[in-house]
Chain A
Amino acid sequence: MGYILAVEDDPYIQVLIRRKLENAGYEVRVYGDGDTIDALIAEKRPDLILLDVMIPGKTGLEICKAIKTSMGISAPPIIIVSARGQQQDVETAYRVGADGYLIKPFSPKDLLEMVQKYTNFER
């Protein structure tokens, strides 16, 4: 069905993402930071990446920009998940190449809907 790679440092939101997406049949791996993300992508290419913005090390936006820059058109879709929801935050995310934006607290239904939209689009 699809493999989702998620970076989220809050342990409870990690569980939420994993349970919601696994219930829908996705394979989900969640990491607390983005330090090893390049290796993880190289190891197995995800069908979609979820990135929290405020995480230890590089921010989700920096990671998003790096992936989209290095992988170009072959980069997987990226959804930014953030507690910040102002217009300029959303615009910044799209500027660094994000495909979607979810504001915390998000509805798991909306998360799944967005993930399905981008993973189906890919196929």
Chain B
Amino acid sequence: MSTPHADYILEHGGIAILTISKDGLIQSFNASAVNFYGIPAAKIIGQPLITLIPPDHHTTHERAIHLAGLQNSAVELETQHYHHDHLIDTRVIISAIHDEGALVGFSLFVIDITKQMRIQTALQHERNVLESILEATNDAIVMVDTNQHIQTINLRFETLFQLPRYQFILRPASDLIAAIDNTPHLPKAFANMFMSLATDIYENAGGELTLPGPTPIDLIWYSTPVYAHDGSIIGRLFVFRDVTQERQSDRMKTEFVALVSHELRTPLTPIQGFSEMLMDEEMGVLDPNLREIVTIIKANADRLAALITDILDLTKIDSGHIEIRPEIHDIRQIFNVVRTSMDGTLARKKQQLSITVPSNLFNIFVDADRLIQILTNLLENASKYSPEKQTVSLSVVMVEDSQDLPPNAPDNIRLPAFLFIVHDDGIGIPPEEQTHVFKRFFRSDQAMRQQIQGTGLGLTVVKSFVEMQGGHVWLHSMPGEGTTFYCTIPHIEGLA
């Protein structure tokens, strides 16, 4: 080591190096130390080491020096030293100096670590902030890293699922899954979901869970891969949100709407009933003026009654109270019921209904009441948006292969399926409205202009009822060229 270069490095290498005697007096002080402390070597040599150290760090130095004297290796210390007239963070490496086996003193390498400490403090602060956010958030959060170890579990997860999180942090995800699986009050679906997703890195997923108990907790959850800045995947996040209160107020709203709708039916009964009796001239002959007025009263009472029925259907759908009860039915019989219930509507506009059933189709496994309502709602629209004396048509075919579906059919249709087609040559639906027609209370601009009555709920009900039975509904239409509605009901092999 004792080359001129080595001496230079030791003197000016940027690390303050000093040596002290066994009793702590400074014996050498290199150029970097002069720079570091801002004191000339001549002034400090012979002085005690503690003049360079703030009083509250004296003890730690004494201990470290003592320790270095006892052992054969260096002792490292993170501390503070005076630097000119203030204090800075330093790392001090202390080694014992032996001469022919006897301890003669110590060397101290002093390194400025202010910058490092600043970064560390900032990182620590950032970490604390993130942790506090995680702890304060009302969603239960778990992060699994790419080695399937639990990286993070927040406080809400612990309270929501009553699993002590510190047992699982930095442990394999399988421990947590096993714990969920072994906890009686946690549903099996929860453990299964975790298991299937913990090892899957790319999938986005979400759903609902209910924790049973005296007061069940409704949860919605989602899980998503977590990407680092450079685009690499660092793990998977699971988030659970307690939506019990939202669900509760949704239920109350639904129940309230149902209650009000039922209450409206009582006062509507005499209005609708008496106007019917008046129109039928049961109470005496009507002069044409009165007849016109009574007809208006009756039409509006009918409209209100239809609106109430649609609203009640929707509240049933919303509250999940609708039960689908499929049974084997004769398609022709269902079509006959539909035809009968359409009689009045069609007669008023002097329209015809054409029904086509292929000779090889007989039975269908379906909830007949729902199918009748689906077809009636579609046909009522067909009639409503067609001029007088036109023909509206209803037909059904069996589709086995997706190539046999109409060109604009959506993907993922379950096949084989019965395909019901309701067609009219009416005013049609402009392209910009076609995506909205199944939305609640949507009325087409044309319908409003032409004062065609409706609630904007009929197609919403159709869509719900079709989807509840595993089917799809869509349409094809051109303004002025009529509209065709398609809906499928999956055919269950072996049944019907």
Contact = CB atoms under 8 A, between A and B. Distances in A.
Given A23-B282, A83-B262, A84-B262, A107 B276 contact: yes
Contacts of B266: 10, 13, 83, 104
**10 tightest Cβ-Cβ pairs between the two chains A and B:** A12-B270, A83-B265, A105-B269, A105-B268, A104-B265, A16-B273, A83-B262, A105-B272, A108-B273, A104-B269
Contacts of A83: 262-263, 265-266
A66 B321 CA distance: 29
Nearest to A10: B266
Nearest to A106: B269
A20 B270 CA distance: 11
A109 interface: yes
A70 interface: no
14 contacts: A10-B267, A10-B269, A10-B270, A13-B266, A13-B273, A20-B273, A20-B282, A83-B265, A86-B312, A86-B321, A87-B369, A105-B265, A105-B273, A108-B276
A105 B277 contact: no
B316 interface: yes
B82 interface: no
A108 B279 CA distance: 12
Given A23-B282, A86-B316, A105-B301, A16 B274 contact: yes
A86 B319 CA distance: 13
A19 interface: yes
A56 to B, nearest CB: 14
Nearest to B270: A12
Given A87-B369, A105-B305, A108-B276, A13 B316 contact: no
A13 B265 contact: no
A40 interface: no
A23 B276 CA distance: 14
**B interface: dominant SS:** helix
Interface in B262-299: 262-263, 265-274, 276-277, 280, 282-283
Contacts, number: 60
B262 A16 contact: no
Contacts of A84: 262
B270 A15 contact: yes
Given A20-B277, A105-B305, A108-B277, 6 more contacts: A10-B266, A12-B267, A19-B277, A23-B282, A103-B265, A107-B276
A23 B284 CA distance: 11
Nearest to B269: A105
A12 B265 CA distance: 13
Nearest to B309: A85
Contacts of A16: 269-270, 273-274, 277
Contacts of A10: 266-267, 269-270
Contacts of A15: 270
Nearest to B261: A83
A109 B316 contact: no
A62 B55 CA distance: 92
Contacts of B270: 10, 12-13, 15-16
Chain A CB within 10 A, most for which of B263, B266, B282, B323: B266
B397 to A, nearest CB: 29
Contacts of B323: 87
Chain A CB within 10 A, most for which of B277, B283, B316: B277
A108 B274 CA distance: 8
Interface in A66-123: 83-87, 103-109
